Chains A and B, each alone.
Chain A
């Protein structure tokens, strides 16, 4: 909200290397145009129904697999002790990571007054909510007795039993549920003014009633806006440590264990960076097609993509250096178990996974040093797919090789996912995209109110526009 734009004109809207705070939407002239264009995107199309159908189908595959697994037992998955965690935990961490970009964009960049967040944050935040929604399923899926999951939640019960609060898994429960609650609230709060817009533009009485309820009777009054702004600020201030803590806690699942390859103090920052990295990639995967199909190029401009690309490049460098620090520490620690594991990581039975990880997460993102590629949506889209792949394999490399080569050589083993694991992987994507597709056709995927905020207001001839904002602002 508070990203007040400094005066600036860029007729082509293509000027490279704009300071991200200065990103403007020259092609967006008036409030009415915003309403019209954004609300225009909400009309369902055949393509959309096709996508939704596909997503639901994938989700059903996952659901079927879950039923099957609950009936027979977890043995239907590819676990091969001592590899007791596999695709489920990998995918869990993957989706949690995806979630982080949204909160980063909507909260942290908000605190940092980064202008380029304005038009993409809504999509990113929705992505966050649905990604966490997806991730939240996997801890339940992966336990042996899912029907007992509620034992991880502290509540008064006749067994007089409580969770064991020293366990990272309980921290997970708290972190993930808090994260889901807060980010959902955050998304919804941001949506209220836009829903009010929909409410007032809606002609269909039924939909209007629904919007009316959802908008909670929002009236755009100055009083509402005032508290709204403060609250939004504080929520952002809360979400910022939250987003950092959540993936740190997830990384504790590994770092708190003494398993070689897990027991590392570098994990929290390393995981957070990786999460933001993968999250931004997913933002591209989502926003680039949308912007193309719905002709929103003048909202999500190349300047926006450029700015996000810089973030991706930075996080990629962080993650890359983390990889090398791990190897260095293994060598420096002089712990044979550790050293053997890391040797096995790159040259052992899963060398290919490690190299996929290194290629996708370190080498390919280097291309973003070139401004041309940073401003090339096609390349960014392709790259985003590679990064998603790479980040999934990063988690694979962390989970599986570590467990398969632990202290006890007699118990060294192999691991191969089964068709059930794969069904869950597919199902998770189906589940995620089902929600996302439903979202983008019901609610504005670009924040109407915020876009209005950064386009200069209509003024009477007497005072020049900048005077107004200068006289009003700061």
Chain B
């Protein structure tokens, strides 16, 4: 017995259920929706996403590495071209910029994976294909004795289907 899954056809049903679940003191639950719905986000009221940290760090690392690579390799084998300074930082800004975008972007993607828990290859408990279609879902982890109350909350908010996951 892992928990109770409720599938809602209507958005406000799901939000209502979530708020009530929280009032009931349940903390460990997942919410599913076919697309971004800020109503849900407000109902769940999660903490601020950490993605921006990844992005910032990645960007800084990138720009540093870009400049360093260009300047180091120029100094490593100093050859004059066109009478220009051997390590001329102005053109190297482009390298720095592009590498910043590259590393920053990739670390942002990494952020989705790490924070969003992707790729998730096994755990399918508490998920239903409908959630990628039209329905909203709430999955509350609880033991059997509290399942009753959760089911009743779901039904009271017009859940299309309520299911116990085991």
Contact = CB atoms under 8 A, between A and B. Distances in A.
Decide if A and B touch, CB cutoff 8 A: yes
A218 B112 CA distance: 11
Contact of A217 (B13, B112, B120): B120
Interface string B73-96: 110110001101000100110110
Given A201-B133, A217-B120, A222-B32, A171 B112 contact: no
B46 A185 contact: no
Given A166-B88, A185-B105, A458 B9 contact: yes
A472 B49 CA distance: 19
Given A227-B49, A234-B104, A239-B105, 20 more contacts: A174-B94, A197-B34, A217-B122, A218-B132, A219-B127, A219-B131, A222-B30, A222-B32, A222-B44, A223-B46, A227-B115, A228-B112, A228-B116, A245-B101, A249-B98, A449-B35, A450-B35, A453-B36, A457-B10, A457-B39
A226 B46 contact: yes
B146 interface: no
B38 A472 contact: yes
Interface of B is mostly: helix
A135 interface: no
Contact of A222 (B40, B69, B81, B88): B40
Nearest to A174: B98
A35 B130 CA distance: 11
Nearest to A474: B38
A266 interface: no
A331 B83 CA distance: 30
Interface string B112-132: 110111111111100101111
A218 B38 contact: no
A219 B108 contact: no
Contact of B39 (A154, A224, A473): A473
B150 interface: no
Interface in A419-474: 449-450, 452-453, 457-460, 462-463, 468-469, 471-474
A226 B49 contact: yes
Interface string B98-112: 110110111011011
Given A165-B70, A200-B133, A221 B109 contact: no
Interface string B1-36: 000000001111101000000000000001111111
Interface stretch (A62-70, A175-183, A285-293, A399-407): A175-183
B166 interface: no
A19 B115 CA distance: 36
12 contacts: A1-B36, A166-B82, A219-B120, A219-B127, A229-B49, A230-B52, A245-B97, A249-B94, A452-B35, A458-B11, A459-B10, A460-B13
A166 B91 contact: yes
A171 B123 CA distance: 44
Given A222-B44, A230-B49, A457 B55 contact: no
B36 A229 contact: yes
Contacts of B38: 4, 472-474
Interface stretch (A156-164, A297-305, A341-349, A369-377): A156-164
A366 interface: no
Contact of A162 (B77, B119, B133): B77
Given A219-B32, A228-B116, A199 B132 contact: yes
Contact of A459 (B11, B40, B101, B131): B11
A178 B32 CA distance: 34
Contacts of A469: 39
B99 to A, nearest CB: 7
B134 A224 contact: no
A235 B111 contact: no
Given A227-B111, A235-B109, A450-B35, A171 B95 contact: yes
Interface in A190-232: 192-193, 196-197, 199-201, 216-231
B104 A231 contact: no
Contact of B116 (A161, A223, A459, A474): A223
A363 to B, nearest CB: 35
A164 B74 CA distance: 8
Contacts of A196: 132
A96 interface: no
A474 B42 CA distance: 10
A181 B35 contact: no
A174 B95 contact: yes
A162 B134 CA distance: 55
Contact of A223 (B10, B30, B43): B30
Contacts of B104: 234, 238
A185 B106 contact: yes
A242 interface: yes
